[in-house]
Structure 1
Amino acid sequence: MNLFSSRILIMLVFACFLSSCAFQPIRRTKDITFVEANSSEEIPMEQLNVFSPKKSENLPVMVFFYGGSWESGRKEIYDFLGSRMARKEVVTVIVDYPLSPEYQIESMVEVAAKAVVWTKKNIQQYGGDPNQIFVSGHSAGGHLASLLATKDEYFEESGYSNPIKGAILIDPAGLDMHWFLSDYPKEGRKYLKTFTEDPAIWKEFSPIYFLEDQEIPMLILEGERTYPSIQESIKRFKKKAEEEDAKIVYKFYEHKKHIPMITQFLWTGGKAYEDVLQFIENESSEFKNATSF
C-alpha cells in the first residue's frame, strides 16, 4: 500500500464514525460484478458498489473512479463518498478497476468504460436515470473519467454511443501524460509501468489531445497546493479547451493539497459538494429542458 492509500485509510476511520450520523436512509448494494475475467482481453474480474436513496426514481447518477497513481486503491475506501452523495439525491457508483504493474492503462480505461455501460443498462433499478450519467474521479481516477468524456471510441467498440452527461475531475492527474513523460523523464519513470515506454501510448491516453468537437461538459476542481505537474497539466488542458471551445467549468480551492481535495468530501457542508451538485443540477436541468418539448 502506498502513502496515498494509507492517508486515505486514516481518513476513512473518521469517515466511518461520521457515517453513523445518517439522516436519509440509503441502500448500499455492494460487490456487483460488472465485468468477468477475460484472458483474451487481458482484463480481470471487477466489481462495483451502488449507493442510492431507499426511495428514489430518475435521479442523476455519478460513477466514481478513485485515485492512487494507477497502482493502488479499492472501492471500499470511498463508501463515505457514495453514502453522502446518495443522501444528496445522487445515485453513486464506486468502481474498482485493474491496477499496475499487473495491468496497463489500456485495460484500465476499457474496464472503466464497461462500468459506465453497466450503469447505463442497470442503474434504473437503483433509482437512477440512465440518461443523466456523470463520471468523476480524483487524481488518476480523474484521468480515467476525462478519457471517457473525451473519447467516444471506448463506447463505440461496445456498440454504444457515449452515455456520459458530464465529467467531474477532482485534482485530475494525467491530462497530458505525453508532455509530462517527455519533458520530465526522471520524475515520470515510475509511471512507465502504467503507460509503457511508447510515446504513442502516452499521447493516445492523454485527453488533452481529444478536445476537438468536445461536447461533454467538464468540471475541474483544482487545489492551490497540489502537485506542480497537476497544476501545469490543468493549465495546459484549460488553454486547449478554450482554443477548441470545449465547455469547462473551473473551481479553485485555496490552500488545498492533493489528497485533501478528496478527503474534503468527508464534510457534507463544504464547497466541494456545493460545486459538484451545482454542476450536476445545471447539466441535468439542461437535459430535462431539452426533452420537455
Structure 2
Amino acid sequence: MKREIFTIILCCLSVFASGQKEVYLQKNNILYYQDYNQKPNALISARCKLDVYYPKSSTKFSTLIWFHGGGLTAGNKEIPAELKDKGICVVSVGYRLSPEVTAPGYIEDAAAAVAWAFRNIEKLGGDTSRIFLSGHSAGAYLASMITLDKSWLDKHKIDANRIAGLISLSGQAITHFTIRKEKGLAATKVVVDELAPLYFVRADAPPILLITGDRELELLGRYEENAYLMRMMTIAGHRKTRLMELQGYGHDMTKPSFPLLLKEIDRIVLSKNIGAR
C-alpha cells in the first residue's frame, strides 16, 4: 500500500513538473567588442551592446541573432515579443548608426556581435551549430552581408558557413540606400558593389529564406531586389534559397513574418537531425 501511494505521488510530481512553463532569463547591455581589438570610445560604449534572452533549463537550444531596422540611421536593440517564450534564445544587437559612422562601420559591428555569439552562447547552454541570423529592413541587410560576404566573420576567425540559416525580412539586396546617400547618390540610383549582398552570391552559402511584403506595397523595388537575389543564388548553384511574398502587407511586415521565421528555424534544425527547438 505504501509503495502504491509513493508511486502515485511520483506520478503527480512528474505531471506537475512536465506542465511547468519554461523559465527565461535575460542578460542586458553586454558589450560585444570587449573580446576584440577595437578601441573603446563613447559611441561604441553606447551603441555596441546586446541583450540575450534564453531558456534557463534547456540545453543545445537554437539561437536567433536579431538586428533591428531603421535604415541604418535609427532604431535600438529590441527583443520582439513574438519571439519570446518559443524555446529559442534571442540575441538582440545594437550597432552604430549613420551619420555618426559610415559604411562599413555598422557591418563591422554586426560581425562582431555574431562572433560574440559563436564564442559565448555555449556558456548559456546554446548550440553553436544552431545559430541563425535575422532582422528587419536594415537589420536584414546587415544579416545578409554577414552571411554572404565571408570576409566579415573571417576577421574573427569564424567561417560564415557555420551560420545555420539566414531569414531576411524585407532586406536590401543591392547596396543599402543609406550607403548610397553617404556617397551622394539618389535613392533611385541602383548600385551593386562590395557593400551589396547581391555582390556575393555563392553556391555554398547557408540556407536562406527571403520574406518581403507585397510588391505593390513595399518600399521601392524591395520585392524585386529579393527576387533577383534568389534567382542569382539559384543560378550560382545554391539550392536552398527561397522567397516568400506576403500579400496585403507593406514594408511593416514583421508580425506575419515571425511565425514563418520560427517555422524555418524548426525546418532547418530538423533537416540536420539535431532535434527541434
Measured after TM superposition, the shift of residue 122 of structure 1 is: 0.8
Q: Paired residue for 2:116, among 118, 121, 130? A: 118
Distance in 2 between residues matched to 1:43 and 1:204, nearest whole Å: 25
Aligned counterpart for 1:68 among listed residues 67, 70, 93: 70
Distance change (3 Å), C-alpha of 1:106 and 1:42: farther
Measure, in 1, the Cα distance between the counterparts of 2:28 and 2:211: 28
* Correspondence for 2:194 among 204, 212, 228: 204
What letter matches 1:74 in structure 2?
N
Q: Give the match's secondary structure for 1:87.
A: coil
Q: Offset of 1:206 from its aligned partner?
A: 0.6
- Partner Cα separation in structure 2 for residue 41 and residue 238 of structure 1: 39
Residue number in structure 2 paired with 1:128: 126
Please, what is the CA RMSD of the aligned residues?
Answer: 2.7
Deviation sequence 1:131-180 (CA, Å, 0-9, x none)? 1110001001111111111111111122222231110100112x112xx8
What number of residue pairs does the alignment pair up? Answer: 243
> How far 1:24 moved relative to its partner?
4.5
TM-score (norm 2): 0.79
The runs of 5 or more residues in structure 2 that have no matched partner are 1-20
Are the structure 2 counterparts of residues 229 and 281 from structure 1 closer, same or farther at C-alpha, using a change threshold of 3 Å? same
Aligned pairs for 1:43-192 within 5 A? 44-45=44-45, 46-75=48-77, 78-79=78-79, 81=80, 83-162=81-160, 163-173=162-172, 175-177=173-175, 191-192=179-180
2:166 and 2:208 in contact (8 A); partners too: yes
1:238 maps to 230
> Where in structure 1 are there 5+ consecutive unaligned residues?
1-22, 181-187, 265-270
Matches for 1:276-287 after TM superposition, within 5 Å = 276-287=261-272
Measure the CA separation in 2 of the matches of 1:145 and 1:34: 16
Are residues 1:253 and 2:246 paired?
yes
Deviation at 1:210, TM superposition (A): 0.8
**Which has the larger share of helix?**
1
**CA contact 1:38–1:44 (8 Å) conserved in 2:** no
Identity %: 24
Residues 42 and 231 (structure 1), Cα distance of their counterparts in 2 relative to 1, 3 Å cut: farther
Is residue 168–residue 219 contact of structure 1 (8 Å, CA) maintained in 2? yes
Code of the residue aligned with 2:261 in structure 1: it is V
Residues 30-84 of structure 1 deviation map (CA, whole Å, 9 limit, x = unaligned): 1111115945999823100001122211111100101101100111xx23x1x54
Computing the radius of gyration from Cα coordinates, the structure with the larger value is 2
- Aligned to 2:193, the other structure's residue is in SS state helix
Decide whether the 8 Å contact of 1:104 with 1:193 is kept in 2: no
For residue 233 of structure 1, give the secondary structure of its aligned residue in structure 2: helix
Structure 2 Cα separation of the partners of residues 52 and 194 of structure 1 = 37
Q: Cα 1:236–1:53, aligned 2, differ >3 Å: closer, same or farther?
A: same
Q: 1:227 aligns with which of 203, 213, 219?
A: 219
Contact 2:103 2:179 in 1 (8 A): no
Shift of 1:249: 2.0
| Correspondence for 2:204 | 214
Query: Would the alpha carbon gap of residues 194 and 135 (structure 1) be closer, same or farther in structure 2, given more than 3 Å must change?
Result: farther
CA contact (8 A) 1:53 1:86 kept: no
Shift of 1:196: 6.6
Q: Secondary structure, in 3 states, of the residue corresponding to 2:32?
A: strand
8 Å CA contact 1:195–1:202 kept in 2: the answer is: no
Q: Which amino acid aligns with 2:135?
A: G
For the residue of structure 2 that corresponds to 1:99, the secondary structure is coil
